[in-house]
Amino acid sequence: MGMYVNPGNMEFAAIVADGYVDKTGLISLVNGAIGTPRKLITVTRPRRFGKTFAAKSLVAYYSCGCDSRALFGGLDISRDPSYDAHLNAYNVIRLDMTAFKGVSDVAASVARALLAELRQLMPSTAATRADTEALTLVSALADVVNTTHKKFIFVIDEWDAPLRERRAKESQEVWIYLLRLLFKNFTFTDEAIAACYMTGILPIVRYGTQSALSDFWEYTFLHPYAYAPHVGFTEEEVGELAAESGMNMAELRRWYDGYELGYFDEKASERVTVRCYAPYSVAKACANREVGSYWTDSETFRSLLSYVDLDFDGLQQAVVQAVGGAAVRVDTGTFENDLHEVASRDDALTLLCHLGYLAYDAQTQAARVPNEEVRAELRRALGRSRHAGVARIVRDSEALLEATWDLDEGGVAEAIAAAHDGGCAHQFYNNEQALRAVVRAAYIAAADHYVQVQEFPSGRGIADIAYIPRRGDPSPALLVELKWNRKPTVALEQVLERDYAKALRDWGGPILLVGITYDPKTRAHSCHITET
């Protein structure tokens, strides 16, 4: 076994030993692509969505450098008709492209590393030196196939890391050149490559490399097709983890749910929707027995913040609206899938969707913040913005919270009016939903202290918005009722009459009942607050 060539199954064995959620149904999809025009596969999805775990499972299953029958014996793939035919039947090359971060000539470095291992593990098959390391590698791989009579399966994790992290066009081109030699060399690819499975974050089709990578079948976070059930944890899988760990399923759903992926289910002969959770965060929450933000910052998101600061076509307003809970329209068709070529509001919002910071609904062509974990991270990002407009919105929102806590009804009404006039949400009121969008956007600073719940069941009715303090936060709970074109006292009267505070009484802390109304004739906001 080597580091890159037939690396074995030890890494996947460690994952299985630590409470693995069985996602080996992915392997049956790859098995079905072997030997077909679909054998070159690219699956792109955000960080924290199990790309590396999936890659390790494929390496353990396919590599002829180990015996994995006992490891996979009790997993879903063992019941698939294709199981025995492909188990440990191939030479496997596994590359994690983040390991080549900062390397000036990625292609040459990869080729040298693979050649060194091939010559060590299979000295009789190592080809003589050709004009370049890349051509020598292709020749050596062909020799291995001819000698061992086993084709290669490539598993390339974070294949797009060299494209995301290096701006130099030449550096991108040499990496694409090597991929072209391996996977668009018709004779070599057909004879030596059984399959290639690449993971990444951004789609590939518009990197300007269509001719080099056009043979790859691409499954993105926005359009995963048959791979949708394997992108993240499903509702059922999270339910099982919740039961095993004693976690509250409703809390896990509120914090980590929110992505809905549609695809055509061949077995059911119909289109279905999968609710998708970020595996990393769910696993951390269940292991720690505590929900919270397990999001990890990345160089990709830090780069995106610079575009948010530029405020393309009202981008900041859109992000503020999304953090407040509104859905924002986005045209995903304009994005060139290049982190360094974001040129518009739609480009930036589409990038946020691919990174998992927004959930995209193809039916409505709108994006929204999927859950509380992401909302908290975006709120922090807005707080770090260098743009004066965003800084003002954040300051105004913090002042709004202070006014609410101080029972300053006039201050709250003025702050909501200022948020509306300042353009942080819908400019035209025509119903209660529009008022709700303004209020939620105005309270974006609440993400630092609260979990926001819309339409919160309480007492004998449903409160429009509930802000429930995060664990350990001493802030009072807020129950907000909204009324459009009604008398100023109506909202609070309904909160009291229907005893909306009942569901939070066991919480043990103070509860503020907040009624907010808007009069379209006078164009005035009103607020009434009482503590219970």
Confidence of residue 307 (pLDDT cuts 50, 70, 90): low
**Per-residue pLDDT at 125:** 63
Q: Does 117 score more than 80 pLDDT?
A: yes
- CB of 515 closer than 8 Å to CB of 527: yes
Q: Do 491 and 483 contact (CB within 8 A), yes or no?
A: yes
Record: fold of 10-228 = Rossmann fold (3.40.50)
Per residue in 57-115, pLDDT tens? 999 999 998 999 999 999 999 999 999 999 999 999 999 998 887 777 888 889 889 98
Query: The pTM is what?
Result: 0.82
List, for residues 149-201, the tens digit of each pLDDT value. 999 999 999 998 887 765 556 667 788 888 988 998 878 888 999 999 999 98
- Do the Cβ atoms of 213 and 223 come closer than 8 Å? no
- Measure CA of the first residue to CA of the last residue in the chain; give whole Å: 67
Which pLDDT value is given to residue 165?
64
Range 420-457 burial, b when 16+ CB lie within 10 A, else e: bebbbbbeebeebebbbbbbbbbbbbbbbbbbbbeebe
Q: Of 19-28, 109-118, 291-300, give the lowest mean pLDDT range.
A: 291-300
Give the span between the Cα atoms of 465 and 476, in whole angstroms.
14
* Cα–Cα dist 274/256, whole Å: 14
Q: How many CB atoms lie within 10 A of CB 411?
A: 16
Q: Tell me the pLDDT tens digit for each residue of 324-342.
A: 777 889 999 888 777 777 8
- Of residues 95 and 506, more confidently modeled: 95
Radius of gyration (C-alpha) of the chain in whole angstroms: 27
Distances (CA, A) of 21 to 49, 70, 213, 256: 13, 17, 32, 16
pLDDT at 177: 85
What distance in Å separates the CA atoms of residue 189 and residue 40, rounded to the nearest whole number?
10
- Position 509 scores a pLDDT of 81
Residue 270 has pLDDT above 60, yes or no: yes
For 395-425, the pLDDT digits (tens) are: 888 899 999 999 999 999 999 888 877 655 4
> What is the average pLDDT across 480-509?
73
Domain locations in the chain as residue ranges? 10-228, 233-288, 299-383, 388-531
Residue 293 has pLDDT above 60, yes or no: yes
Coil, helix or strand at residue 31: helix
**pLDDT(126) > 90:** no
Q: Alpha helix (H) ranges present in 325-387?
A: 345-354, 372-383
Listed in sequence order, the residues at least 6 apart from 221 whose beta carbon sits closer than 8 Å to its beta carbon are: 44, 45, 46, 49, 231, 353, 354, 356
Side chain identity at residue 233, one-letter code:
F
CATH of 388-531, one of 1.10.10, 1.20.1510, 3.40.1350, 2.60.120: 3.40.1350
Q: State how beta strands 477-484 and 511-519 pair.
A: parallel
pLDDT of 335 reads: 83
Note the pLDDT of residue 458: 59
pLDDT band at 39 (very low <50, low <70, confident <90, very high): very high
502: exposed, middle or buried (Cβ count in 10 Å: 0-12, 13-18, 19+): middle
3-state secondary structure of 15: helix
